[in-house]
A and B are shown apart, each in its own frame.
Chain A
Amino acid sequence: MTEFDIKLIEKIRAGDEQSFTVLVKCYTPYVYRTAFALLQDQSEAEDVSQEVFLKIYRSIGQLSNPHAFHSWLNKIITHTCLDRLKKQHPTPIADSELDIVSQETSQQLDQHLLIRDALQRLSSEYRETLVLREWQGYSYEEIANILGVPVGTVKSRIHTARLQLRKILSEGEREKE
């Protein structure tokens, strides 16, 4: 966290209205992208972003250490997204389905879309574990605590998710060529 962020949090805690507006402007992209990576749904990610900032607004007074803001924010985003995922009907994708590369993917030239498409193809369990690791930077133990699964499960999910992602991406790139 930068000095600017810490001062910003201190100002918000002191009741500065403008600083909260600045915080929203600074952190909206991060919150939205994390929510989108976990949920893979634009409108759900937008709803979650609003919910996250409302939670911050309501409870920032309880944050005693401004240096811990980033991890506190990540916890809020992750738990809000996981709650949403729990409410959704699970749609796990079998490994065999991963062999089918859609027409859409083969036409996409953009790397970003390729990764996004590959992420969508992962089952929600693999995706959330991978996002928590790769994007939010949680350790295996932290992920295990957040998801309520053993560390061994986290290890295997991350490894399998990477293998599947690699497979989907290489197939997509082959199709592109």
Chain B
Amino acid sequence: MECQECLERMSEYIDGELCNFEHAEIKAHLISCQNCQNVAREFQMLQERFQRSLENSPVPIDLEQRILIAVEKEQQKVSKQSVFTLITLVLLGSPLLLLSPFLLRIVHLFYATGYAFWRVKTVLLMLLPTTTSWGIGATSFFLSVFGIYMIRALLRGSRLKEVSL
């Protein structure tokens, strides 16, 4: 191998980008050629100096803090956007819902069903003994309280996590 060819492929040799055969060829040439060996050493030293220089380059002291503040602002922006989106959707959707006959039917259905249940319950409770009626009432109260507590726990769990400084 000629020196010219070896020098042209020196970077690829240093970076391990040659196939085994080419690598071995250059390696063999370097053993016999002092000049090319010096260039190879210089390239390797250049790599080390380059890396050392970047590793030691100073970083602005307050950069971390500024990054964390930027991230916190971003998080707040995202939360605000979600709230605004929700409000906009509600504002846009509410007139449609209020005016729609479908909603009126649903309200009527709820009212009719509720009234029917109320009637059935009243008749049943009148028939049952007083102690059982009180028992059913107390159980319903505790179930309602427990339901409210569970809904609150679920809502708390779904809150967005914030990045704090």
Known: A49-B67, A165-B46. A140 touches B53 (CB 8 A): no
Tell me which residues across on chain B come within 8 A of A169, comparing CB atoms. 46, 49
B-side interface residues, number (CB < 8 Å):
35
Residues of A with C-beta under 8 A to B67: 24, 28, 49-50, 53
Within 8 A of A (CB), among B16-71: 17, 42-43, 46-47, 49-57, 59-60, 63-64, 66-68, 70-71
A134 within 8 A of B: yes
Q: Answer whether residue A54 sits at the interface, using C-beta atoms and an 8 A cutoff.
A: yes
Which among B46, B47, B57, B63 is the interface contact of A116 at CB below 8 angstroms? B57
Q: Give Cα distance in the complex from A42 to B46, angstroms.
A: 23
Contact yes or no, A139 B54, CB < 8 A: no
Inter-subunit contact B49/A158 (CB<8 Å):
no
A100-148 residues with Cβ-Cβ distance < 8 A to B are 111-112, 115-116, 130, 133-135, 139-140
B56: contacting residue among A24, A54, A112, A139, CB under 8 A = A112
Do the beta carbons of A17 and B57 come within 8 Å of each other?
A: no
Q: Does B5 have its Cβ within 8 Å of any Cβ on chain A?
A: no
Contact B50 A115 (CB under 8 A): yes
Contact of B63 among A15, A46, A134 (CB under 8 A): A46
| B8 interface residue (CB < 8 Å to A) | yes
CB distance from A24 to the nearest CB of B (A): 5
Q: How far is the CB of A54 from chain B (nearest CB, A)?
A: 6
Contacts A50-B67, A112-B53, A134-B51; A28 near B59 (Cβ below 8 A): yes
Q: Kindly list chain B residues whose C-beta atoms are within 8 Å of the C-beta of A33.
A: 54-55, 57, 59
- B8-A20 in contact (CB<8A): no
Is residue A86 within 8 Å, beta carbon to beta carbon, of the partner chain?
no
Contact of A158 among B15, B70, B162 (CB under 8 A): B15
Given known contacts A29-B59, A32-B59, A54 and B11 CB-to-CB distance under 8 angstroms: no
Are A50 and B70 interface neighbours, CB within 8 A? yes
Residues 159-177 of chain A, each 1 if its beta carbon lies under 8 Å from chain B, else 0: 1001001100100000000
Which residues on the A side are within 8 Å of B75 (C-beta)?
A: 57
Residues of B within 8 A of A9 (CB): none
Is B165 an interface residue, CB under 8 A from the partner? Answer: yes
Give a binary string over A17-46; 1 marks a CB under 8 Å from any B CB, 0 the rest.
110110011001100111011000010001
Inter-chain CA distance A140–B19, complex, in Å, is 13
Task: Let me know if A155 and B51 touch, CB within 8 A.
Answer: no
In the bound complex, how far is the Cα of B75 from the Cα of A25, in angstroms? 18
CB nearest to A155 among chain B residues: B12
From B17, B60, B64, B71, A139 is in contact (CB under 8 Å) with: B17
Once A53-B67, A139-B17 are accepted as A-B contacts, the answer to whether A15 and B59 lie under 8 Å apart by CB is no
Contact B11 A162 (CB under 8 A): yes
Cα–Cα distance between A20 and B43 once the two chains are bound (Å): 39
Nearest A-chain residue to B50, judged by Cβ: A134
Q: Cβ of A25: which chain B residues have Cβ within 8 Å of it?
A: 64
Quote the shortest CB–CB distance from A163 to chain B (angstroms): 9
Whether B161 pairs with A17 at a CB distance below 8 angstroms is yes
Which 5 pairs from chain A and chain B are nearest by CB? A115-B53, A159-B11, A15-B161, A112-B53, A29-B59
* Apart from A20-B71, A33-B55, A135-B51, 7 more pairs, CB < 8 Å: A17-B161, A49-B63, A49-B67, A112-B53, A134-B47, A159-B12, A165-B50
